[in-house]
Amino acid sequence: MKGAHHALCGAAAWVAVASTAPYTLGWYPVSPLGVVTGALVCAGAALAPDADHHDATIAHSLPPVSEWVCDVVGHLAGGHRNGTHSVLGVAVLVGIAWAAGQVTVATETLGELAAGAGLLSLLLVAFAARALGLARRRLDAWALALGLAGFITVAAPTEWDWLPVAVGLGAAVHIAGDMLTDGGVPLLWPWEPRPPRWWRATPLLNDLWSRGGNFAVPILGRTGSWRERILVSPLAVYAAYGVGAAVVVGSLTALGYDADAVMARAWEAAGVLVGTATVVGATVLTVPLLT
C-alpha cells in the first residue's frame, strides 16, 4: 500500500475507535482534542512500519531526520517488509510509545511536562502532515506538529495516556493494509515458517501463505492499484468527518454549551431534512409518471 493511503487508513481507524460521534465504534473513547491529535498521531504511526527502506513516503517526508530514522530502522529490522511488518514490530512500537510516555520533565512554572510523549508525537504528526498533504512545505509540517504536540504537552499533559494505543493501532492498520496487497507480510517474524510443497503447488493457497513465509489476503492486487484507491478514498471522507465532529464538539464545550445535547438536536434536524428531501424527491419523480 502507498504511504498516503496507509496514513489515511490510520486516521480513519483512530476516528472509528476513539470517537463517540454517530457512525463510529467508540471502543476507546477519548476527548475531542484526543480525537483530532490522535488521528494525526495514528496516521503517522501507520507510516512507521515502512521506515525500513529508503524509498518510502516516510523517508522523503522530513529529510534529513526521516532519512536517519529509516537507515537505523532498516538495519535493525532486517530490510524492507521484515521486522517492522510483524506482530513483534507492532509490540516494539507500542513499547517505544509507552516508554516515551514515562519521560517527563518537571518545570517550575509549567509543572510536569510529558516531554517524551510530546517529542514522539511531534515526529509522527509531522510525518503524517506531509504524507496527507496537510502541509506542502516541510517547515509547515514541523510548525503544525510543534503547535499541536506543544499545546497538549503544556496544556493537557494527561491527554497523552492514549499514545501507545494510537501508535499500536496505526502500526497494526499498516500491516493489515500490506496484507491486502500481493506481497503479504511476515507476521510471525523473526520466525518465518515455510508452507509445505503441496501447499505451494496450489494456486490460491500459495497466495495466502507464500514460499517466502509471508501471509496475505491479496484482494487489492499490487501496491497502488485502482482497487487500493477505491478502498481508501471513502476513508478520507470518514476521517475528515470524525475530526470535524470532534472540532465542533470541542468548540461547543469550550463555549459552555452542552455539546451532547446540541449534537443530538443537530442530528435530529439532519434526519428530518433528509427525510423531507427524500419525500419531496420521490414526489417530484413519481408525479409526472402518474399524470
- Residues near Zn ion (CB under 5 A) are 50, 178
- Cα-Cα-Cα-Cα dihedral sign, residues 132, 133, 138, 144: negative
Q: Which is nearer to Zn ion, 178 or 228 (CB)?
A: 178
CB of 175 to Zn ion, least distance (A): 7
| Buried b / exposed e along 48-66 (16+ C-beta atoms within 10 A) | bbbbbbeebbbbebbeeeb
Residue type, 112: E
Rounded distance, CA 138 to CA 244, Å?
A: 24
Rounded distance, CA 161 to CA 55, Å?
A: 33
Rounded distance, CA 16 to CA 1, Å?
A: 20
Secondary element (H or E) of residue 107: strand 105-107
In sequence order, what DSSP letters do the residues of 111-164 get, joined into one string?
Answer: EEE-HHHHHHHHHHHHHHHHHTTS-SSHHHHHHHHHHHHHHHHHH-GGGGGGHH
Locate 178 and state its grid cell.
Answer: 500490506
Q: Which is nearer to Zn ion, 91 or 279 (CB)?
A: 91
CB of 1 to Zn ion, least distance (A): 7
CB of 59 to Zn ion, least distance (A): 12
Q: Which is nearer to Zn ion, 224 or 275 (CB)?
A: 224
Q: Which is nearer to Zn ion, 50 or 159 (CB)?
A: 50
Q: Which is nearer to Zn ion, 101 or 186 (CB)?
A: 186
CB of 272 to Zn ion, least distance (A): 45
CB of 182 to Zn ion, least distance (A): 12
Q: Which is nearer to Zn ion, 21 or 124 (CB)?
A: 124
Secondary element (H or E) of residue 101: helix 87-102
Alpha helix (H) residue ranges in 180-291: 197-200, 203-208, 226-254, 259-290
CB of 278 to Zn ion, least distance (A): 43
